[in-house]
C-alpha cells in the first residue's frame, strides 16, 4: 500500500518536474522580495537579485561601482553580495558614530566585520588582529604586535635597514637611468616593501629588489646581492593574493563561492594560497626557534619581530612585553597569525601608498622641489642625509605629502566595522552583525569637506589643517581598531621619499593620464612609469 503511494507520487513528480521546479523558483523569488521589501530600516540602494545580490551591478571594480551608488543613493546606502547585506557610509557625522569612540567599552562597533564563514576559512576569524572576532585573542595579539614594532630601538633599526635597501634600489635605478630605461615604480615598491618587511620581521634578508633587477636583464648586468629567503617576488605575489582573498571571502556567500562557475575556481585558488602561506610561515618559525635553542644564553639575539615574539615570556625575554595576565610563551599558531598580520598589513598598503605618492610628486614638480627644500632645512645637505627617528618628526611637509596622496587615492577605500548589537545610525537601525563600510575615497574627495579635492595640494595639511572636517580623513582608522603599524609605515615611507628627492629628478612618462589602478581589496597602482636621472645631471 505504502509502496503504491510512493510510486504514484514519484510518477506525479516525474510527469510534472518542470512545473514543480518552476513553482519552487517562483516561490523562492516571491519570498525573497517579500522579505526584501518588508525589511526593517529600508536603507536606499540598488535592487538585489536572488542568490546574486548586486554582484552584476558591481562587476570587477568595487571602487567604481560604489562611486555610482553614492551619487545615486547618497551618504548612506546598502548593497548585497549574495544574501549578505552591506551598509556603506560616506559622511563625517556617520563616520563619527562608527569610528569615534576610542575604547572597547565605549563603542558598539568593536568588530572589524560581521561573521563570515569565508573569513574563518582563511584562518582569520579567531586569530591574528585585523579580522579577529575573538576579543581576548585580538587584544593579546594586538598588544604583542604594537609593543614589538613601536619601540624606539626597533624603529631606529628598521630605519637603518630601510635606508640600506633603498640605497641598493637607487643604484639599480641609476644604472637604468643611464641606459634610458623607464622605471615602473609600482613593481619596485612591491619588491622594496617585501625586502624591508620580511627582513625586519625575520632578521633574514630577502632580495626581491635584486630579483627584480635581474629579471630585467639589462645588458646582462646582475645584482650581487643574495638573500637567505629565496623567491622573494613569488612570496610577494602570494601575500597580495592573500589580501585579495579577504574581501572576496567577506563579500561572497559560501554557496556562490563554492558552486558558481568562475567563482568556484577563484575560491580554490585563494584557499590553496592560504595553505601555501601557512607552510611558509611554519617553516620560518620552526627554523628560527631551532636557531634560538642552539644559541648560548649569554649570546645576544637579533631584535627582529619574530625573535622578539619567540622569546616572549621565556628566560631570554629582554623586552618584557606587558599584555596583562598573559604570561606564557607564544604558541606556533599565535606566532603564525601575528607574523601573517605583519606581512599582509605591512607589504600591500605601504607599497601601494608609496606608488601613489611617487605618481603625484612626479606629476607635481613644485611639490617635489618643496620636499627637497625641507630635506635641506632639516638635514643641511642632500648628499647622504643622516636619517634618524628624531629627524623624521621634523619632516612636516613630507607627512603632508603622504596624507594628501592618501586623501586623493587611499590604498584602502573601504574600512569595515560591525556592531555587536542593534544600533541607530543616522535615521536607520543597523542590525547587530551587519558590516558597515566607510568609503574613504568618496569621503576625502567630497568638495563639501575638501576645497578643490581634485587638486593635489599638500598645503591643506599644513596651513589649512584646522579647516579639515573631523572624521572626513581617517587614513589609519580611529579608536581601538586603529592600524597598529602606522608609525613603522610612516618611517618606511619617509626613508624612501627623503632619499628619492635627494638623489633623483623624476618625470612621469605619461603626464596627462590619471593614475591607473587595479582593485583587489586594496587599490594597487599599475603602470606608474617614470623617467629618472640623478640630481647632479641637471
SS3 assignment, position 147 = helix
- Residue 230 CB coordination number (10 Å): 11
Rounded Cα distance, 462 and 492, in Å: 21
Q: How far is CA 483 from CA 354, 406, 524, in A?
A: 17, 14, 19
Element spanning 505, H or E: strand 504-508
Do 440 and 474 form a contact (C-beta atoms < 8 A)? yes
Helices (H) then strands (E): counts for the chain: 20, 11
Distance of alpha carbon 4 from alpha carbon 385, whole angstroms? 93
How many Cβ atoms are within 10 Å of 184's Cβ, its own excluded? 18
SS3 content of the chain, % helix, strand, coil (to 5): 55, 10, 35
| DSSP designation for 252 | S
Question: Would you mind telling me the total number of residues written for the chain in this entry?
Answer: 538
Report the alpha-carbon distance of residue 286 to residue 333 in Å, rounded. Answer: 11
C-alpha 65: how far from its chain's center? 20
Taking the mean position of all CA atoms in its chain, how far away is CA 27?
42
| Paired sense of beta strands 84-89 and 435-439, if any | parallel
Q: In sequence order, what are the beta bridge partners of 523?
A: 519
483 assigned binding-site residue = yes
* DSSP line for 242-277: HHHHHHHHHHS-HHHHHHSTTHHHHHHHHHHHHHHH
Q: Is 250 exposed, middle or buried (0-12, 13-18, 19+ CB in 10 A)?
A: buried
Check the CA dihedral 418-127-264-413 and report its sign: positive
Q: Residues annotated as binding site for heme?
A: 483
Q: Residues annotated as binding site?
A: 483
Amino acid at each position: 500500500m505504502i509502496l503504491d503511494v510512493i510510486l504514484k507520487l514519484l510518477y506525479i513528480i516525474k510527469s510534472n518536474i518542470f512545473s514543480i521546479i518552476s513553482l519552487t523558483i517562483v516561490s523562492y523569488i516571491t519570498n525573497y522580495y517579500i522579505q526584501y521589501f518588508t525589511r526593517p530600516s529600508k536603507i536606499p540602494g540598488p535592487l538585489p537579485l536572488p542568490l546574486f545580490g548586486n554582484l552584476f551591478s558591481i562587476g570587477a571594480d568595487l571602487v567604481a561601482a560604489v562611486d555610482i551608488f553614492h551619487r545615486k543613493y547618497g551618504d548612506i546606502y546598502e548593497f548585497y553580495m549574495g544574501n549578505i547585506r552591506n551598509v556603506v557610509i560616506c559622511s563625517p557625522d556617520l563616520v563619527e558614530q562608527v569610528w569615534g569612540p576610542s575604547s572597547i567599552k565605549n563603542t558598539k562597533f568593536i568588530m572589524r566585520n560581521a561573521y563570515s564563514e569565508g573569513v574563518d576559512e582563511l584562518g582569520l576569524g579567531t586569530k591574528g588582529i585585523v579580522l579577529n572576532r575573538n576579543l581576548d585573542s585580538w587584544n593579546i595579539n594586538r598588544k604583542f604586535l604594537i609593543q614589538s614594532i613601536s619601540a624606539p630601538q626597533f624603529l631606529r633599526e628598521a630605519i637603518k635597514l630601510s635606508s640600506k635597501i633603498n640605497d641598493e634600489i637607487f643604484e639599480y635605478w641609476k644604472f637604468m637611468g643611464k641606459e634610458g630605461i623607464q622605471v615602473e615604480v609600482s613593481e619596485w615598491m612591491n619588491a622594496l616593501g617585501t625586502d624591508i618587511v620580511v627582513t625586519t620581521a625575520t632578521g633574514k634578508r630577502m632580495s626581491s629588489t635584486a630579483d627584480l633587477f635581474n629579471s630585467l636583464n639589462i645588458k646582462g648586468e646582475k645584482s650581487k646581492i643574495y638573500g637567505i629567503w629565496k623567491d622573494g617576488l613569488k612570496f610577494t605575489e602570494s601575500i597580495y593574493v592573500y589580501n585579495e582573498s579577504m574581501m572576496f571571502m567577506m563579500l561572497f556567500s559560501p554557496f556562490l563561492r563554492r558552486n558558481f562557475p568562475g567563482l568556484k575556481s577563484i575560491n580554490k585558488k585563494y584557499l590553496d594560497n592560504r595553505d601555501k602561506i601557512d607552510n611558509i610561515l611554519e617553516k620560518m618559525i620552526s627554523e628560527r626557534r631551532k636557531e634560538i635553542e642552539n644559541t648560548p644564553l649569554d649570546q645576544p639575539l637579533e631584535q627582529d619581530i619574530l625573535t622578539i615574539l619567540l622569546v616572549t615570556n621565556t628566560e631570554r625575554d629582554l623586552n618584557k612585553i606587558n599584555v596583562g595576565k598573559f604570561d606564557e610563551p607564544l604558541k606556533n599558531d599565535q606566532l603564525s597569525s601575528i607574523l601573517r598580520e605583519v606581512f599582509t598589513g605591512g607589504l600591500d598598503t605601504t607599497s601601494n601608498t608609496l606608488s601613489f605618492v611617487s605618481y603625484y610628486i612626479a606629476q607635481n614638480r613644485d611639490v617635489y622641489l618643496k620636499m627637497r627644500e625641507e630635506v635641506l632645512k632639516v638635514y643641511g645637505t642632500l648628499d647622504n642625509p643622516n636619517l634618524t627617528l628624531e629627524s623624521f618628526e621634523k619632516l612636516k611637509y613630507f607627512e603632508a605629502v603622504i596624507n594628501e596622496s592618501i586623501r586623493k587615492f587611499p590604498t584602502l577605500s573601504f574600512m569595515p566595522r560591525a556592531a555587536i548589537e542593534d544600533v541607530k545610525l543616522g535615521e536607520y537601525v543597523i542590525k547587530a552583525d551587519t558590516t558597515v563600510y566607510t568609503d574613504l575615497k568618496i569621503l576625502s574627495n567630497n568638495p563639501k569637506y575638501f576645497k578643490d579635492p581634485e587638486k593635489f595640494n599638500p598645503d591643506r595639511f599644513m596651513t589649512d589643517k584646522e579647516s579639515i572636517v573631523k572624521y572626513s580623513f581617517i587614513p589609519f582608522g580611529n579608536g581601538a581598531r586603529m592600524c597598529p603599524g602606522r608609525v613603522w609605515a610612516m618611517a618606511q615611507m619617509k626613508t624612501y621619499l627623503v632619499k628619492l628627492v635627494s638623489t633623483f629628478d623624476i618625470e612621469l612618462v605619461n603626464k596627462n593620464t590619471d593614475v591607473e589602478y587595479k582593485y583587489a581589496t586594496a587599490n594597487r597602482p599599475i603602470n606608474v612609469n617614470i623617467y629618472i636621472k640623478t640630481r647632479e645631471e641637471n
